[in-house]
Amino acid sequence: MTDKYLDLKAFDFAVPPDQVAQRPLLERDHSKCLIWDGHKVSHSQVSNLSNAVPKGTLFIVNDSRVIASRIHGKLVTGGAVELLLLEPLLYTAARDAGETWLCLGKPMRKLAAGTIVTFSHGLTATIVNDCAPSDSGPLPFEARFNLAGENLLTWLEANGEMPLPPYILRKNPSADQQKFDRDRYQTVYAGDLGSVAAPTAGLHFTPEVLASLKAKQCEIMHVTLHVGAGTFLPVKTNDPARHTMHFERFMVPAQTLASIKKAKTEGRKVVVVGTTALRSLEGLHALSISENCGIEELAGKWLRTNIFIRPSFAKDRHTPWCADGIMTNFHQPESTLFMLVCALVGYDQMRAIYNEAVQQQYRFYSYGDSSLLWL
């Protein structure tokens, strides 16, 4: 029998609506954790993570902090619009003169080049260029703001909304609800601002979980990948190969690479927390090959990747260059993230794992439960 080519529909599956998590559990580490040991599935809880990994395991987390980057403004006509700030471009003027960001927005028909949008507390934006549609959905456009740097970030922290995914329903959220999401849609180890979506695999970690891992001589190191538009944009092409992945900024510190090398030399396991952390490491490895340089030469530098890891055929497998396991949440059907885990574990096996998660009433998506997949 010939190997099956995987079109978009091959990555579809049903999730009962009541299993789409609308809010996180009261305690971060009380989320369930499905464990795939390479042969069979078992079930645990994130609070017991230290019991599921060998002594001395190296964990690599994404420490990017989410920006409150969804903002609401008005046109000169009084019409309401929404912008989602994705990432700043290189400064084209003095920092105090404003800066340009890549954005998504709606309604798109109102956001032509030259349009001025006014926000509260003195912020304005001018749309720089029209957004051209593509097979993969809307493409980001440029918007020039009258604030820059820390001034703009301070405005966003005070007035912006957390960019929750559209499947998390928040109709006219109260101030208390917005404050709750600001806290819980952020990892406890978040560092530099830069993401427009949380690296959600890390949302389950608590100081207590981290302490229990360290008590087992596990090591926690970080990479930084500022999550961009790709997290929000669905695959709309029937052939996934035609999907456009957006570039995301990332950096892998030299200390993290040194820890990976040491762990591998000593035969210790490496667990990557989240698809974003894995894409950072795989993106770094791919760049070292394409630029014909040692991977250490790229350490500590801000780089960009649009790496798209997926199986083209049902029997395809992707072997990461350093990860022995990945912790990740349960992703949307037909998403690039579900395609990625299918590539890591195997298409048929991953579908069986997701079926098990549905049967066992796991909570899905960003605020949902976790998994530990040994590769």
Specify the CATH number for the domain of residue 329. 3.40.1780.10
In a domain, 236, yes or no: yes
List Cβ neighbours of 198 (8 Å cut-off, separation of 6 or more).
66, 185, 186, 187, 227, 366
Whether residues 210 and 327 share a domain: the answer is yes
In a domain, 170, yes or no: no
Whether residues 140 and 221 share a domain: the answer is no
The 10s digit of each residue's pLDDT in 296-328 is 999 999 999 999 999 999 999 999 999 999 999
Alpha carbon distances (Å) from 143 to 24, 76, 198: 33, 16, 23
In a domain, 180, yes or no: no
Whether residues 286 and 368 share a domain: the answer is yes
Cis peptide before 107 (omega within 30 of 0): yes
Q: Sorting pLDDT into bands at 50, 70 and 90, what band is 2?
A: low
Torsion over CA of 33, 37, 40 and 43, rounded to 10 degrees? -20
pLDDT given at position 246: 84
Whether residues 209 and 358 share a domain: the answer is yes
Whether residues 198 and 299 share a domain: the answer is yes
Q: In angstroms, rounded to a whole number, what is the distance separating the alpha carbons of residues 246 and 8?
A: 18
Question: At 124, which CATH number?
Answer: 2.40.10.240
Of the residues 143, 160, 177, the one at which a domain ends: 160
- Which residues sit opposite 35 in a β-bridge? 42, 372
Q: Sorting pLDDT into bands at 50, 70 and 90, what band is 132?
A: low
Whether residues 140 and 76 share a domain: the answer is yes
Whether residues 209 and 312 share a domain: the answer is yes
Whether residues 54 and 76 share a domain: the answer is no
Closest CA to 161 of 138, 179, 145, 141: 179
In a domain, 174, yes or no: no
Total domains present in the chain: 2
Whether residues 347 and 257 share a domain: the answer is yes
The 10s digit of each residue's pLDDT in 320-358 is 999 999 999 999 999 999 999 999 999 999 999 999 999
Q: Sorting pLDDT into bands at 50, 70 and 90, what band is 93?
A: very low
Q: Are 99 and 152 in contact (CB under 8 A)?
A: yes
Q: In angstroms, rounded to a whole number, what is the distance separating the alpha carbons of residues 9 and 290?
A: 32
Whether residues 103 and 57 share a domain: the answer is no
Looking at mean pLDDT, say which of 119-133, 174-188, 336-350 comes out highest: 336-350
Strands (E), 188-346: 193-195, 219-226, 248-251, 270-273, 303-305, 325-329
Residue 58 structural domain:
8-66+187-374
In a domain, 166, yes or no: no
Helix (H, G, I), strand (E, B) or coil at 16: coil
Alpha carbon distances (Å) from 285 to 79, 258, 280, 294, 299: 47, 14, 9, 9, 11
